[in-house]
Structure 1
Amino acid sequence: MPCSTPYERLPSTPYVRLLVALVLVLLVAPPAAADEGPGWTARPAGGGSAGRDARPYVYLEGAPATVLQDRLSVTNPARTPLTVRLRGDGRAGPWLRFAADTVTVPARTRADVPFALALPGNATPGGLAGEIVASADGGEERRVPVRVRIGGPTLAALTVEDVELSGRTIRYALVNRGNTPLRPRLAMRADGVFGTLLDRPARPLEVELAPGRRLELTEPWPDAPALDSVTVRLRVAAAGGARDEAAASAAYVPVAPVAGGGLLVLGVLAVLGTGAFRRRRDRRGAETAGSDDTTATEPDGGQPAQESRPLAKAGAES
């Protein structure tokens, strides 16, 4: 008699094969991605940096020639170490210094990196912004905003210089002589011999002048006169009482008529000079012919007198 087996072979059906495949996937699959966390982060340290009360940016305040300090938190929820490189960006970026420019954060760890912002002695009072940039391998970045408030008195000073009229263009330069950024406004006026030629009211310019910056600009003047003596005056102003004005003058003369008139004058002078030369030459010719036709006569009307000859040298004739 055949021996009985304690189990029976399961029927090989598509449903059974699918069930076996699912079991194998569940046994071999790695842990869920949720264990890895949401990805690495870079935030201002403190203030509940891992939760909803995290600081949205780094805020620093101080006077020129001081050093301001804070910390940056880099969190690595992965199971492998994370290496990031730190640098500053924006207007405040060159003043940022880190305890370490390259930081390796162990797996499932948070590292707090101290950094400092050194304000130079000539820093302009007011506000400016920048960023801390944390870069991981592969080019992934995290940016942390930095807001800086610099204390001290502010001085608004603005000058307009080197005004020049060039055809249908007015050239000039603006210089910020103070220690605060300025957004200037410009007004223009041009007066000629017979009255006002141009009158533009003050309007804001689409520029921002940083302290100490010089900017060369132009203004179009499509209706510039063809013939006039013009004085153009520029007036600039900005917030904080900064204002200045400058002027330039120029004579507008049509080039073609002047050139034509000059050629006409030269032509007339040439004709007059040629006529005078001919008259002088004719007069000299007539005087020469008259002297050749005249003869000497005796006082009593007799025979013509002998032709006079020059005295001979002694011994030439006997």
Structure 2
Amino acid sequence: MPFRIRAVAAGATALTAAALPCAPPSAAADGGRLAAPAGAHARPYFYLEGGPGSVLTDRLALTNRDDRARTFTVRPTDSGSGRGSGAGSGDWIVTAERTVKVPARTRAEVPFTVTVPRDALPGDHPSALSVRGAGPSARTAAVPVHLRVNGPTLAALTVENVAVADRDGTAVIRYDLVNRGNTTLDPRVAVRAEGLLGTALRRAADRLPEGLPPGRRITRTETWPDPPALDSVDLTVTATAAGGAHGTARATYTAVPWAAVGLLCAGGGAAAGGWFLRRRRANAGGPAAEDQESGTERELATGVTA
């Protein structure tokens, strides 16, 4: 069950970091990571929940397995929309220290607070704590902070800007997914194409590798390696997610064998050029030339010469 910290007294201040002996890598609760949520039980991310105006707290663990001291910079980052506050939810986070020096083979815990604005809208407000070491070969890490503001939630999803383009015989499908609600979505996307000759493509619903936070727009591209060579196709992209979120958009793709069209145009151009040349010669020679050309055409038609 996700670790939750409910309402904490407003105005609480962050505590200073505390150094702890570092456990052997095989037994470390952080699973060998540079940065992770503190505590006896390993957590892949922070989960905090509270209402508008609440102050929530937790602790970030920094592990230095080197034989010398390391300095780390901790910085909150925004990965959500910050709806209703005028800023991203990363601005709601304050760490006890921005720069932390961790002794050799030691783990230090850095407390932090999340102050939820009183005008924050209900729903998910994701952010993260970014950790970077000093030096050109320094390690970096980011620990997600999943914050949910209590209140009514809405799951809404749209598919937009669907387009299909040909690229060296392979079709490229491009579309946008937009989270129009206030909860993080885990969409599944299906693609289907129906042409004059039947179903040209049927791609089953596939899950996105990452969740889609509220207010976020992402652009995706998919390759269609064997599109029809000659057909007019209606392509439909459908996205669904939990909570009844559903979005659909369409585009038309017309496949034309341009090489064959080019040969046809070239043949037509040659025939038109020959006719134009004959007419020009006839006009240059006057009536006699016209009579001679007509006689020649009659001879070719009957196979008889004078």
**Pairwise TM-score range, normalised by the shorter structure:** 0.5 to 0.7
Query: Looking at both structures, which has the greater relative contact order when contacts are Cα pairs under 8 Å and sequence separation is at least 6?
Result: 2
* 8 Å Cα contact 2:126/2:144 also seen in 1: no
* 8 Å Cα contact 1:184/1:238 also seen in 2: yes
CA distance in 2, matches of 1:85, 1:257: 64
Gap runs ≥5 in structure 1: 1-38, 43-53, 73-83, 104-112, 288-318
The secondary structure found in structure 1 opposite 2:270 is helix
Q: Equivalent of 2:274, from 271, 291, 294?
A: 271
Q: Equivalent of 2:114, from 112, 117, 120?
A: 117
Q: Which amino acid aligns with 1:208?
A: G
Matched, 1:178 2:194: no
Residues 229 and 145 of structure 1: is their aligned pair in 2 closer, same or farther, counting only changes over 3 Å? closer
Matched, 1:281 2:281: no
CA distance in 2, matches of 1:159, 1:223: 27
Report how far residue 248 of structure 1 moved.
Answer: 0.6
Q: 2:263 corresponds to which residue?
A: 260
* 8 Å Cα contact 2:162/2:249 also seen in 1: yes
* 8 Å Cα contact 2:188/2:205 also seen in 1: yes
The secondary structure found in structure 2 opposite 1:280 is helix
Query: Once the two structures are aligned, what percentage of the paired residues are identical?
Result: 40
Report how far residue 182 of structure 1 moved.
Answer: 1.0
Q: 1:228 corresponds to which residue?
A: 231
CA distance in 2, matches of 1:131, 1:187: 34
Q: 1:243 corresponds to which residue?
A: 246
Q: Equivalent of 1:68, from 55, 58, 63?
A: 55
Aligned residues: 215
CA distance in 2, matches of 1:172, 1:145: 27
Report how far residue 149 of structure 1 moved.
Answer: 4.2
CA distance in 2, matches of 1:85, 1:256: 60
Larger gyration radius, structure 1 or structure 2: 1
* 8 Å Cα contact 2:124/2:214 also seen in 1: no
TM-score of the aligned structures, taking structure 1 as reference length: 0.55
Q: Which amino acid aligns with 2:150?
A: G
CA distance in 2, matches of 1:279, 1:86: 89
Report how far residue 273 of structure 1 moved.
Answer: 1.1
Gap runs ≥5 in structure 2: 1-17, 22-38, 60-70, 79-88, 101-109, 291-306
Alignment map for 1:45-124 (pairs within 5 Å) = 61-64=49-52, 66-68=53-55, 87=74, 89=76, 94-97=91-94, 116-120=113-117, 121-122=119-120
TM-score of the aligned structures, taking structure 2 as reference length: 0.57
CA distance in 2, matches of 1:277, 1:170: 51
Per-residue deviation, residues 278-298 of structure 1 (Å, max 9, x unmatched): 2333343579xxxxxxxxxxx
Name the Cα RMSD after superposition. 4.2
